[in-house]
A and B are shown apart, each in its own frame.
Chain A
């Protein structure tokens, strides 16, 4: 049984590492905490869970390493149903979520449960959408692209890593709307992940890629693409400083992709507040800022009821957009 040996060595080493980190830690708490990543290992939700787990451990806010477990299925629906139906009051369980989950809730893809059926805890980081074209493309600004899009919507294919109705598609749809073009007239090609869409952009198979800022870092340096607009509230710093926002260019399109967490519906106020405290304290720490940046995420600090309201409002917005384009009755 070699595999058992391998796994127990792994667990042992992890426990050892956790033990070392926890030593000399004063405000340690003894509960075993858990984060469910509603996907297979290695994806965005995995990273979201690890961000919390590594951060809390590094800053000594928990003394036992946080367990990260996987519950793939239904683009997050399986975990959502599980937390609503089975572990609805577990005070030590958080579940990773993102803008994508809000979109799926708006489309009613999470089955019988709605967005207000869980307690939204907070977001620890955010990425922003971006409108990207090939470096050889004729458009130098968002305005030029929009003009062409209005005149010949059939000649410009948008592509991204999600299906019609996904958060990647929403970026393209909102861009089309800002050009007074019905999203239904938009030519949209869905790929399996942003990488494939980016490859299609570099090969001139699609003309516009609606991706995320953080995944474009290496391409920015190579000069093979041109980012026409960042879908953020204001200009981002560092390598993105030269990228104008859509709003600057007169188009009101914003697309934050937050990475956050929710808890079960029947978690006590006390336990919920404790997590809100813990998360907002974490977000303020310097060690955490480094971890967040390593994952290409920008700061976002919305916690507790403020975050809860933010998510519910977002879901409402997406729902009306989905109805408008006929994705939902």
Chain B
């Protein structure tokens, strides 16, 4: 039954393919680390190169898959070091990752996130190897109504983040949803909030949003402090470099749970690393944040989204390999790469082209080992980035992002938009808003709206469809429980103790 995998390891361990896995892992880490490139663009840029160099199909796929997994590793870097998410999956990583770096624990934070990424990805790849065909059946059971219920659940789980200022969290999330509505309406084609500017038709790009909201606003804050001459907080201390075994072991259940959550969410076509990160973080906060340390630099708050986003990247291969349906934007590009080689992914691939299917899965195992081996010792080196003064570092990242965005859009509108969003982000921060709910609202709101409208056009406007299936009903109950129980349980407890 696992012949294809044995064959696959044979293929993946050839010197050329092993070398490509290394190269891909390295390039991917780089692409992920730099805000503005990300896995999709990295793969799209390198795909024609692989083709031009005449690499055989399995080698090209191994290279591209290594870039994809590498990018999920790299995305955490700027999240932890700079508080600027490197890609969509790393938004939640900023919440505890950056506070850790500020405490002087950048090295251990990077090390821990490498281990969590490895654990999450490994859980997902094992799941992919064992259950892929079965899981594909489950994935297609998720229709628009089920996705809508999942988004409701995701928003409900965010309630745990409301913390000290629930109103501001809610306003932030709604602002994010609002920004997400700009552009061509995805079901009717009507233009929304585009003010006649064709540059806005496609909506506001994720990179533009992230760089504006996080990096530009940071620069503005720095400028303000520079004038007042009192904001000289200096460089964070560069403490110990390596993560200890004890710290890793303290997070083992967090990693396991989050890896599983990430894998399951990754399998569903249309939801990605950002949803996986958000759900795993909030779940973990609910389960293990006994002393309210999440958000202040808790190792578990870092391990959760990191395990989940890597697991979801591997999970998104399930629908691609078994159904020929991309599970994420990046696998959609990979699918295009396969087409170039005249390979049509799907259930037949395992029997017709076992060297490709097996080679890919084997290379995922190997790629992850390579990434762990690469990232653990390098954590100390990357942590040294923090010895560069922030007033050099953050503008430097912003400039790189400017170049990247300009290169992708070939026009200045995206840059102007980035600056405008930057000012907006600056105002939000001055007013005491946290940025994570804004970005989550922006990412999840669109998915939620699209799926609600799809479900309603299927049912002809009947709301009943939203809780008709067992899956959606279960998600609704879970969502309501998340909102009500934290409030209800203490009261019940009180009532009981006062009676006694």
Contact = CB atoms under 8 A, between A and B. Distances in A.
A42 B202 contact: no
A188 B188 CA distance: 10
Given A190-B186, A294-B342, A218 B333 contact: no
Main secondary structure of the interface of B (DSSP, over half): helix
A41 B142 CA distance: 28
Q: Report which residue of A73, A196, A296 has the largest number of chain B beta carbons within 10 angstroms of its beta carbon.
A: A73
Interface stretch (B320-328, B358-366, B474-482): B320-328
B434 interface: no
Contact of B457 (A82, A107, A189): A189
A135 interface: no
Contacts, number: 173
B198 A111 contact: yes
A166 interface: yes
Contacts of A70: 407-410
A2 B325 CA distance: 34
B118 to A, nearest CB: 23
Contact of A199 (B323, B332, B341, B349): B323
A294 B188 contact: no
B458 A74 contact: no
Contacts of B450: 192
Interface string B18-29: 000000000100
Interface stretch (A6-14, A176-184, A254-262, A276-284): A6-14
Contacts of A270: none
B346 A10 contact: no
Contacts of A46: 44
Given A111-B198, A222-B347, A157 B458 contact: yes
A221 interface: yes
Given A6-B27, A71-B409, A195-B325, A189 B454 contact: yes
Contacts of A17: 52-53
A175 to B, nearest CB: 17
Nearest to B324: A218
Nearest to A3: B34
A251 interface: no
Interface string B454-493: 1001101000000000000000000000000000000000
Contact of B144 (A40, A72, A81, A200): A200
B339 interface: yes
B205 to A, nearest CB: 8
A2 B140 CA distance: 41
Contact of B189 (A82, A165, A296): A165
23 contacts: A13-B53, A42-B43, A42-B336, A46-B44, A50-B48, A54-B48, A70-B408, A70-B410, A73-B413, A74-B202, A77-B201, A78-B198, A187-B457, A187-B460, A189-B187, A190-B188, A198-B325, A199-B270, A199-B323, A202-B325, A205-B144, A218-B348, A221-B344
